[in-house]
Structure 1
Amino acid sequence: MAQDIRELNRNAVLTELLNQRPATRKQIAEATGISAATVTRAVDQLILDGVVCEVSEVVVENRGRRAILLDLVADASLVLGIDLGASNTRMIVTDLLANPMTAIEIPTPTELGPTELALWVADTAKLAVGDHWDTVAAISLGLPGAVSQVDRTVSNAPNLRQVEDPTFLTVCELAIGLPLHVDNDANLALLGELRFGAARHTPYAAMLSLGAGLGVGIAIDGVVLRGRHGLVGEFGQIPIGPHGERLESFTTGPGLLRHAAAAGMELASPAELFADGGGGSDSAPDQVRAKLRAEFDQALVAVLTAIAVSSEPETIVLGGGIAKSLTENLGSYQRLLEQNIRIAPTLTRVELGDFSGAAGAVVAALHAVYLDLGVQPSSLSALPKSNTLSPESIHDIRRVNV
């Protein structure tokens, strides 16, 4: 029993330190209600374990009395966040306080089979970390599909079918040599924006990723909802077309290109559909363009409405290649939402750009490390307390050649 109490006190002290960091022993004692002597014993043990360190002295009273600030030992271990996309793969390496060390972006070799792709992910991860591989404590992997929390099977990944094969995760984990924390890429992108980006000021938010696929992440009170089989937010599977076509067919890059080709229009990229020019003409190409755009708008408003009425987020963050073309139109979509449901969430673009998913994977990996260290699970949604992982910091450490 005494051991259990000591461990509970230790964990409470560590949790409060991460919530306040850096903090003094007195501040931790006042915040937790634990006696100063008990806090000191817990801190001494955390220092002995190499988890916490003393970082500086501060004046705490008018008479000049000083106290020692404590903080987590940031460089004790590293974490790696991986966002495996159908077009590109992005990775971020940070220390335990989310201070970024390396960020890479590289085309995904989609021509590889499940085993070969898994080996490529492992090799690329080791190249990203470099000589510090032995210090990696946790790795989180985002995939473009629904990830079951029951058995880690992956479904609904039409743009990267290899990840649905059980061989992929098995080989990837064996080749990496560490347990993988696996989640849907939209969930992780939302987690990244919640901690470091456009949703950091609200715990009630959603992420809508529009690119090669359609992904939605939903957070309530700062916690990302997942469901047993990872199907929460899979609104792209909803049939809305006359022949049962799904929402994602009208809103994703591959779907837009297929619809354009079926209508006799060639688009070099989906972005052409949203480009200015020719919109007011009665020519056949412009009529086709207007029809495709109207179908897109209707489908997008349907997705946004589904997100709004299912979880009442204060903010919906839009990311992905298609979303980049919609920046100037977010106000129009928000007004349409308000007409539908009267009270609509604010629509905004991602702040972390293409690295939202990798940043969220870093957060998930950090949470795994924090749990192992003894941090209380109920506090994880507010951690890490850091603003170091920003678009500017990612740009500064980004490696182009791997």
Structure 2
Amino acid sequence: MVQDIRELNRSAVLTELMSLRPATRKQIAESTGISAATVTRAIDQLIADGIVCEVSEVVVEKRGRRAILLDLVAERSLVVGVDLGASSTRIIGGDLLANPVVAVELPTPSELGAAELALWLAQQAKSAVGARWSAVAAVSLGLPGAVDQVERSVSNAPNLKQVEDPAFLAVCELALGVPLLADNDANLALLGELRFGAARHTPYAAMLSLGAGLGVGIAIDGAILRGRHGLVGEFGQIPVGALGERLESFTTGPGLMARAAAAGVPLESPARLFEASGGEGGGSADSPTTQLRADFDRALVTVLTAIAVSSEPETIVLGGGIAKSLVGDLGRYQERLEQTIRIAPTLTSAELGDFSGAAGGVVSALHTVYLTLGVEQAALSALPKTDLLTPTSIRRIFNQMIE
């Protein structure tokens, strides 16, 4: 019983330090209501375990008395976040305070089989981190499909079918040699934007990822909704066309290219559609290109409406390759959404850009490590408390690695 109480106090003290960081022993005692002597004992143990360190002195009273600030030992472990896409793979490595130490982007060899792709991914992660790989405590992987957390299986990944093979995750984890977490890429992208990007000011948000696929991540009170089989947010599967075509066929890169080919529209890339059509009012009303854009707009507003009425987010963050072509049109989509539903969320672009998913992977991996250190589960949605992982810091590390 005594040991249980000590563990509870240790966990409460560490959790409060993580929420306040950096903080003094007195601040932690006042915030938790735990006695100063108990806080001191817990801190002494955390220091002895190499989890917490004393970082600096601060003046805490008018008479000049000083107290020592405490913080997590950031370099104790590293974590890695990976966003595996059909065309590109992005990797971020960070310390326990989410300070990025690695940021790379690579073309995905989508022609490889399941086991070969898993081995390639593990090798790229190890190569990116280099000599510090032994310090990696967890890897979190974002995948372009629905991830069943109970059965540890992947479905609905038409643009990278290899990840649906059970061998993919099994081989990847074995090759990495560290705990491997897996989740839908939109969920991780939202997690990244919640902690470090466009959704950091609200715990009620959604992420709409438009690229080779259509993915949606939803957060309620800071927690990502996943469902029993990982199907929450798979709005791209909704049939909307006259012949039962799914929403993703109107809004994703492969879908747009296929529809353009069927309509006889020469389209070099999905981005060209948005350049050629020029948005609402652009081009001849009856031209195939204009019709393609109109179909896209209707489908997009349908997706946005479905997100809004299913979860009532305050913000919907748009990311992915196609979303880059829509930045100038967000105001127009906002108006159409407000015409459809009276109380509409704010539409905004992803601040972390292409690295949202990898950044979210860092957060996910950190949460796993924090739990092993003793941080309370209920506090995780607000952690890590840091401003170290930013678009600027990611880009700086990325540029350093390609020079």
The residue aligned with 1:303 is 303
The residue aligned with 2:61 is 61
Check conservation: 2:277, 2:293, Cα contact below 8 A: no
Of 356-365 and 334-343, deviating more is 334-343
Percent of paired sites with the same residue: 75
Deviation per CA, 1:351-381: give whole Å up to 9, x if none. 0000000000000000000000000000000
The residue aligned with 1:21 is 21
The residue aligned with 2:221 is 221
The residue aligned with 1:109 is 109
The residue aligned with 2:175 is 175
Report how far residue 178 of structure 1 moved. Answer: 1.2
Structure 1 letter corresponding to 2:115: T
CA distance in 1, matches of 2:35, 2:160: 54
Structure-to-structure mapping, 1:135-154, within 5 angstroms: 135-154=135-154
CA distance in 2, matches of 1:213, 1:155: 13
Moved over 3 A (4+): 276-283, 399-402
CA distance in 2, matches of 1:401, 1:166: 34
The residue aligned with 1:49 is 49
**TM-score, structure 2 length as denominator?**
0.98
Structure 2 letter corresponding to 1:244: G
Structure 1 letter corresponding to 2:262: A
Report how far residue 266 of structure 1 moved. Answer: 1.6
The residue aligned with 2:331 is 331
Report how far residue 280 of structure 1 moved. Answer: 5.1
Deviation per CA, 1:259-316: give whole Å up to 9, x if none. 0000001211001110056875549xx7001100010001000000000000000000
Report how far residue 150 of structure 1 moved. Answer: 1.4
The residue aligned with 1:119 is 119
Structure 2 spans left out of the alignment, 5+ residues = none
CA distance in 2, matches of 1:19, 1:5: 21
The residue aligned with 2:259 is 259
The residue aligned with 2:274 is 274
Summarize the Cα distance change of 1:271–1:87 in structure 2 as closer, same or farther, 3 Å threshold: same
The residue aligned with 1:288 is 288
The residue aligned with 1:363 is 363
CA distance in 1, matches of 2:299, 2:152: 30
Structure 2 letter corresponding to 1:302: T
CA distance in 1, matches of 2:282, 2:9: 69
Report how far residue 43 of structure 1 moved. Answer: 0.2
Structure-to-structure mapping, 1:382-401, within 5 angstroms: 382-398=382-398, 401=402
CA distance in 1, matches of 2:98, 2:283: 52
Check conservation: 2:320, 2:354, Cα contact below 8 A: yes
Structure 1 letter corresponding to 2:163: V
Deviation per CA, 1:202-251: give whole Å up to 9, x if none. 00000000000000000000001011100000000000011111000000
Structure 1 letter corresponding to 2:385: K
Summarize the Cα distance change of 1:282–1:313 in structure 2 as closer, same or farther, 3 Å threshold: closer
Summarize the Cα distance change of 1:342–1:353 in structure 2 as closer, same or farther, 3 Å threshold: same
CA distance in 2, matches of 1:9, 1:74: 22
- 1:150 partner SS: coil
CA distance in 1, matches of 2:277, 2:381: 45
Summarize the Cα distance change of 1:34–1:230 in structure 2 as closer, same or farther, 3 Å threshold: same
CA distance in 1, matches of 2:86, 2:75: 32
Report how far residue 348 of structure 1 moved. Answer: 0.1
- 1:275 partner SS: helix
Summarize the Cα distance change of 1:238–1:50 in structure 2 as closer, same or farther, 3 Å threshold: same
Check conservation: 2:137, 2:179, Cα contact below 8 A: no
CA distance in 1, matches of 2:384, 2:190: 15
- 1:232 partner SS: coil
The residue aligned with 1:194 is 194
The residue aligned with 1:158 is 158
- 1:6 partner SS: helix
The residue aligned with 1:250 is 250
The residue aligned with 2:317 is 317
CA distance in 1, matches of 2:235, 2:349: 19
Structure 1 letter corresponding to 2:172: C
CA distance in 2, matches of 1:222, 1:252: 27
- 1:398 partner SS: helix
Deviation per CA, 1:47-103: give whole Å up to 9, x if none. 000000000110000000100000000000100000001110000011000011010
Report how far residue 385 of structure 1 moved. Answer: 0.4
- 2:242 partner SS: coil
Report how far residue 35 of structure 1 moved. Answer: 0.2
CA distance in 2, matches of 1:44, 1:309: 50
Deviation per CA, 1:94-125: give whole Å up to 9, x if none. 10000110100000000100010000001001
Matching of residue 205 in structure 1 with residue 205 in structure 2 = yes
Structure 1 spans left out of the alignment, 5+ residues = none
The residue aligned with 1:77 is 77
CA distance in 2, matches of 1:52, 1:253: 47
**TM-score, structure 1 length as denominator?**
0.98
Structure 2 letter corresponding to 1:270: P
CA distance in 2, matches of 1:385, 1:170: 32
Check conservation: 2:317, 2:348, Cα contact below 8 A: yes
Structure-to-structure mapping, 1:343-382, within 5 angstroms: 343-382=343-382
Check conservation: 2:284, 2:290, Cα contact below 8 A: no
The residue aligned with 1:129 is 129
Summarize the Cα distance change of 1:329–1:3 in structure 2 as closer, same or farther, 3 Å threshold: same
Structure 2 letter corresponding to 1:127: S
Report how far residue 18 of structure 1 moved. Answer: 0.5
Structure 1 letter corresponding to 2:106: I
Summarize the Cα distance change of 1:20–1:281 in structure 2 as closer, same or farther, 3 Å threshold: closer
